[in-house]
Protein backbone atom coordinates (compact mmCIF):
# COMPACT_ATOMS: atom_id res chain seq x y z
CA UNK A 1 0.00 0.00 0.00
CA UNK A 2 3.08 2.20 -0.25
CA UNK A 3 2.35 5.64 -1.65
CA UNK A 4 -1.42 5.24 -1.39
CA UNK A 5 -3.11 7.68 0.96
CA UNK A 6 -6.45 5.93 0.83
CA UNK A 7 -8.43 3.70 -1.51
CA UNK A 8 -11.94 4.82 -0.64
CA UNK A 9 -13.59 7.83 0.93
CA UNK A 10 -16.82 7.01 2.72
CA UNK A 11 -19.30 9.44 4.20
CA UNK A 12 -20.83 8.46 7.52
CA UNK A 13 -23.65 10.18 9.33
CA UNK A 14 -24.39 9.91 13.04
CA UNK A 15 -28.01 10.21 14.15
CA UNK A 16 -30.06 9.68 17.29
CA UNK A 17 -31.55 11.66 20.15
CA UNK A 18 -29.80 14.59 21.79
CA UNK A 19 -27.34 13.58 24.54
CA UNK A 20 -26.94 9.92 23.53
CA UNK A 21 -23.26 10.64 22.82
CA UNK A 22 -23.05 11.26 19.07
CA UNK A 23 -20.46 14.04 19.34
CA UNK A 24 -18.56 12.05 21.94
CA UNK A 25 -18.36 9.02 19.64
CA UNK A 26 -17.01 11.23 16.88
CA UNK A 27 -14.43 12.85 19.17
CA UNK A 28 -13.39 9.42 20.44
CA UNK A 29 -12.98 8.11 16.90
CA UNK A 30 -11.04 11.04 15.52
CA UNK A 31 -9.24 12.36 18.58
CA UNK A 32 -9.01 9.41 21.01
CA UNK A 33 -10.36 11.43 23.90
CA UNK A 34 -13.52 11.95 25.92
CA UNK A 35 -15.04 15.17 27.18
CA UNK A 36 -17.14 14.74 30.32
CA UNK A 37 -18.86 18.07 29.85
CA UNK A 38 -18.87 18.97 26.19
CA UNK A 39 -20.41 22.30 25.29
CA UNK A 40 -23.56 21.39 23.36
CA UNK A 41 -23.40 24.60 21.37
CA UNK A 42 -19.93 23.67 20.18
CA UNK A 43 -20.86 20.17 19.09
CA UNK A 44 -18.41 18.59 16.72
CA UNK A 45 -19.95 18.58 13.30
CA UNK A 46 -17.36 16.88 11.21
CA UNK A 47 -14.38 14.63 11.64
CA UNK A 48 -12.33 12.37 9.46
CA UNK A 49 -10.32 9.29 10.19
CA UNK A 50 -8.25 6.82 8.22
CA UNK A 51 -8.90 3.18 8.97
CA UNK A 52 -7.23 0.10 7.55
CA UNK A 53 -9.11 -3.03 6.60
CA UNK A 54 -6.19 -5.48 6.53
CA UNK A 55 -7.93 -8.46 4.94
CA UNK A 56 -8.95 -6.22 2.03
CA UNK A 57 -5.57 -4.52 1.97
CA UNK A 58 -7.42 -1.23 1.84
CA UNK A 59 -7.14 2.13 3.57
CA UNK A 60 -10.45 3.92 3.90
CA UNK A 61 -10.98 7.56 4.76
CA UNK A 62 -14.12 8.03 6.82
CA UNK A 63 -15.77 11.43 6.66
CA UNK A 64 -18.18 11.57 9.56
CA UNK A 65 -20.95 14.06 10.09
CA UNK A 66 -22.67 14.58 13.38
CA UNK A 67 -26.16 16.06 13.55
CA UNK A 68 -24.80 18.58 16.10
CA UNK A 69 -27.88 20.09 17.66
CA UNK A 70 -30.29 19.49 14.80
CA UNK A 71 -32.07 16.76 16.79
CA UNK A 72 -34.64 19.27 17.95
CA UNK A 73 -35.94 19.66 14.40
CA UNK A 74 -36.59 15.91 14.22
CA UNK A 75 -35.95 16.01 10.53
CA UNK A 76 -32.77 16.84 8.79
CA UNK A 77 -32.37 18.16 5.32
CA UNK A 78 -31.82 15.84 2.44
CA UNK A 79 -28.39 17.32 1.78
CA UNK A 80 -27.13 15.93 5.07
CA UNK A 81 -27.90 12.39 3.93
CA UNK A 82 -26.75 12.82 0.37
CA UNK A 83 -23.89 10.53 -0.55
CA UNK A 84 -23.75 8.81 2.84
CA UNK A 85 -22.56 5.21 2.66
CA UNK A 86 -22.85 4.52 6.37
CA UNK A 87 -24.95 5.58 9.33
CA UNK A 88 -24.46 5.20 13.06
CA UNK A 89 -27.89 5.12 14.67
CA UNK A 90 -27.12 5.86 18.30
CA UNK A 91 -29.12 5.34 21.49
CA UNK A 92 -28.09 5.38 25.14
CA UNK A 93 -28.29 1.94 26.83
CA UNK A 94 -29.46 3.67 30.03
CA UNK A 95 -32.29 5.53 28.29
CA UNK A 96 -35.26 3.51 27.10
CA UNK A 97 -36.68 6.63 25.48
CA UNK A 98 -33.64 7.08 23.27
CA UNK A 99 -34.05 3.48 22.07
CA UNK A 100 -37.76 4.01 21.36
CA UNK A 101 -36.92 7.20 19.46
CA UNK A 102 -34.32 5.37 17.38
CA UNK A 103 -37.28 4.04 15.37
CA UNK A 104 -38.19 7.49 14.14
CA UNK A 105 -34.54 8.33 13.44
CA UNK A 106 -34.33 5.18 11.35
CA UNK A 107 -37.53 6.15 9.52
CA UNK A 108 -35.93 9.50 8.76
CA UNK A 109 -32.79 7.82 7.46
CA UNK A 110 -34.80 5.39 5.34
CA UNK A 111 -36.84 8.23 3.90
CA UNK A 112 -33.91 10.40 2.90
CA UNK A 113 -30.80 8.31 2.53
CA UNK A 114 -29.66 5.92 -0.18
CA UNK A 115 -31.54 2.61 0.20
CA UNK A 116 -28.24 0.71 0.13
CA UNK A 117 -26.82 2.64 3.06
CA UNK A 118 -25.27 0.48 5.76
CA UNK A 119 -26.68 1.29 9.17
CA UNK A 120 -25.23 0.17 12.48
CA UNK A 121 -27.26 0.50 15.66
CA UNK A 122 -24.95 1.64 18.46
CA UNK A 123 -25.98 1.29 22.11
CA UNK A 124 -23.69 3.89 23.69
CA UNK A 125 -22.67 4.53 27.34
CA UNK A 126 -21.99 0.87 27.99
CA UNK A 127 -19.53 1.93 30.73
CA UNK A 128 -22.49 3.06 32.86
CA UNK A 129 -23.79 -0.46 33.22
CA UNK A 130 -20.70 -2.53 32.63
CA UNK A 131 -20.92 -4.23 36.01
CA UNK A 132 -24.24 -5.89 35.03
CA UNK A 133 -24.70 -6.88 38.67
CA UNK A 134 -27.82 -5.97 40.60
CA UNK A 135 -26.10 -3.34 42.73
CA UNK A 136 -25.13 -1.28 39.69
CA UNK A 137 -26.80 1.88 40.92
CA UNK A 138 -24.91 1.70 44.21
CA UNK A 139 -21.52 1.13 42.63
CA UNK A 140 -19.90 4.43 41.84
CA UNK A 141 -23.12 6.11 40.72
CA UNK A 142 -23.60 3.78 37.79
CA UNK A 143 -27.00 3.99 36.14
CA UNK A 144 -29.21 1.10 35.32
CA UNK A 145 -29.38 -0.44 31.91
CA UNK A 146 -32.77 0.21 30.36
CA UNK A 147 -32.33 -1.65 27.08
CA UNK A 148 -31.20 -5.27 27.02
CA UNK A 149 -28.73 -6.53 24.45
CA UNK A 150 -31.28 -9.16 23.38
CA UNK A 151 -34.00 -6.63 22.67
CA UNK A 152 -31.70 -4.33 20.70
CA UNK A 153 -30.23 -7.25 18.80
CA UNK A 154 -33.69 -8.51 17.85
CA UNK A 155 -34.81 -5.11 16.62
CA UNK A 156 -31.56 -4.66 14.68
CA UNK A 157 -32.11 -8.01 13.01
CA UNK A 158 -35.69 -7.17 12.08
CA UNK A 159 -34.55 -3.90 10.55
CA UNK A 160 -31.47 -5.33 8.87
CA UNK A 161 -29.09 -3.21 10.95
CA UNK A 162 -25.68 -4.16 12.27
CA UNK A 163 -25.51 -3.84 16.03
CA UNK A 164 -22.92 -3.13 18.69
CA UNK A 165 -22.81 -1.74 22.22
CA UNK A 166 -20.07 0.80 22.83
CA UNK A 167 -18.72 3.49 25.10
CA UNK A 168 -17.39 6.81 23.93
CA UNK A 169 -16.06 7.23 27.47
CA UNK A 170 -13.93 4.08 27.65
CA UNK A 171 -13.48 3.83 23.90
CA UNK A 172 -14.80 0.27 23.87
CA UNK A 173 -16.08 -0.77 20.45
CA UNK A 174 -16.03 2.74 19.00
CA UNK A 175 -13.53 2.11 16.23
CA UNK A 176 -14.94 -1.42 15.91
CA UNK A 177 -18.40 0.00 15.14
CA UNK A 178 -17.05 2.09 12.27
CA UNK A 179 -14.91 -0.82 11.08
CA UNK A 180 -17.83 -3.25 11.00
CA UNK A 181 -19.93 -0.81 8.99
CA UNK A 182 -16.99 -0.15 6.66
CA UNK A 183 -16.47 -3.87 6.05
CA UNK A 184 -20.13 -4.21 5.20
CA UNK A 185 -19.95 -1.28 2.77
CA UNK A 186 -16.86 -2.75 1.09
CA UNK A 187 -18.59 -6.12 0.74
CA UNK A 188 -21.42 -4.37 -1.15
CA UNK A 189 -18.85 -2.71 -3.42
CA UNK A 190 -17.51 -6.17 -4.26
CA UNK A 191 -20.98 -7.49 -5.03
CA UNK A 192 -21.65 -4.85 -7.67
CA UNK A 193 -18.09 -4.87 -9.02
P1 LIG B 1 -24.96 14.21 21.61
O2 LIG B 1 -25.92 15.30 21.96
O3 LIG B 1 -25.68 12.97 21.16
O4 LIG B 1 -23.89 14.62 20.64
O5 LIG B 1 -24.24 13.78 22.98
P6 LIG B 1 -22.83 14.28 23.60
O7 LIG B 1 -21.71 13.63 22.88
O8 LIG B 1 -22.84 15.77 23.68
O9 LIG B 1 -22.92 13.62 25.04
C10 LIG B 1 -23.96 13.93 25.95
C11 LIG B 1 -23.47 13.67 27.37
O12 LIG B 1 -23.26 12.26 27.56
C13 LIG B 1 -22.15 14.35 27.72
O14 LIG B 1 -22.18 14.76 29.06
C15 LIG B 1 -21.12 13.26 27.50
O16 LIG B 1 -19.96 13.45 28.28
C17 LIG B 1 -21.91 12.03 27.95
N18 LIG B 1 -21.46 10.80 27.26
C19 LIG B 1 -21.31 10.61 25.93
N20 LIG B 1 -20.90 9.37 25.67
C21 LIG B 1 -20.78 8.74 26.87
C22 LIG B 1 -20.37 7.40 27.26
O23 LIG B 1 -20.03 6.53 26.46
N24 LIG B 1 -20.40 7.15 28.61
C25 LIG B 1 -20.75 8.08 29.52
N26 LIG B 1 -20.73 7.71 30.81
N27 LIG B 1 -21.14 9.32 29.19
C28 LIG B 1 -21.15 9.65 27.87
Please check the confidence at residue 40 and state whether its pLDDT lies above 80. no
- Model confidence at 44, pLDDT cuts 50, 70, 90, reads low
CA distances from 27 to 38, 39, 159 (A): 10, 13, 28
pLDDT band at 130 (very low <50, low <70, confident <90, very high): low
| Residue 101 CB–ligand 1 contact under 6 Å | no
ipTM above 0.90, yes or no: yes
Ligand 1 neighbourhood includes 21 CB (under 6 angstroms): yes
| Predicted structure pTM score | 0.90
Residues 6+ apart with CB under 8 A from 190: none
Q: Does ligand 1 lie within 6 Å of residue 38's CB atom? A: yes
Residue 90 alpha carbon, nearest atom of ligand 1 = 3
Q: Which of 152, 150, 10, 1 is nearest to 89 (CA)?
A: 152
Does residue 28's CB lie within 6 angstroms of at least one atom of ligand 1?
no
> Does 168 contact ligand 1 (Cβ within 6 A)?
yes
Residue 76: how many CA atoms within 13 Å on its side-chain side?
26
Mean pLDDT of all residues belonging to the chain: 86
Q: What is the Å distance from ligand 1's center to 105 Cα?
A: 18
Amino acid sequence: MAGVQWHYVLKFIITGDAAVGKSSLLVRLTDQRFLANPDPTLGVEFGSKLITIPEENKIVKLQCWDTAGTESFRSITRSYYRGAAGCLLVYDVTSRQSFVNARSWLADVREHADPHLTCILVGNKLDLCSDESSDGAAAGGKRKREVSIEEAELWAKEENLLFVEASAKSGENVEAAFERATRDILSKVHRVA
